[in-house]
C-alpha cells in the first residue's frame, strides 16, 4: 500500500513541476504553483520524479534552493523507498 502512495505522490510532483513550467512559459504568472508547494510535494515523497521533471522541462534549474534541496530529498526518499517501502 505504501508503495502505491509513494508512486502517486511522485506522479503528482512530476505533474506539478510540468504544469508550473507550462504556465511560466505561457506568461500565466497569476496562477503559478508556489515554490513552497513544489518543495512540499518533494518533501513528502515526490522528490525523485520532481528532479526528473526539473531536468526534462528545465524548470527551476537556475534556483540554488531547488538545485540543492531537490536532489538531497530525492536521495533520502530513494533510500527510504529501498530500505523500508519496497
| Model confidence pLDDT, tens digit, residues 25-77 | 999 888 999 999 999 999 999 999 999 999 999 999 999 999 999 999 999 99
- Categorize the per-residue pLDDT at 86 as very low, low, confident or very high, splitting at 50, 70 and 90: confident
Q: What is the pLDDT of residue 28?
A: 83
Domain locations along the chain:
2-85
HSE-CB of 73 using CA atoms within 13 angstroms: 23
Q: Does the pLDDT at position 82 exceed 90?
A: yes
Cβ atoms 18, 33 nearer than 8 A: no
Q: Does the pLDDT at position 11 exceed 90?
A: yes
Amino acid at each position: 500500500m505504501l508503495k502505491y502512495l509513494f508512486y502517486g505522490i511522485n506522479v503528482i510532483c512530476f505533474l506539478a513541476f510540468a504544469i508550473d513550467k507550462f504556465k511560466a512559459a505561457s506568461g500565466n504568472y497569476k496562477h503559478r504553483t508556489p515554490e513552497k508547494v513544489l518543495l512540499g510535494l518533494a518533501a513528502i515523497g515526490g522528490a525523485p520524479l520532481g528532479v526528473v521533471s526539473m531536468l526534462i522541462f528545465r524548470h527551476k534549474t537556475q534556483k540554488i534552493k531547488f538545485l540543492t534541496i531537490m536532489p538531497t530529498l530525492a536521495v533520502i526518499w530513494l533510500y527510504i523507498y529501498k530500505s523500508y517501502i519496497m
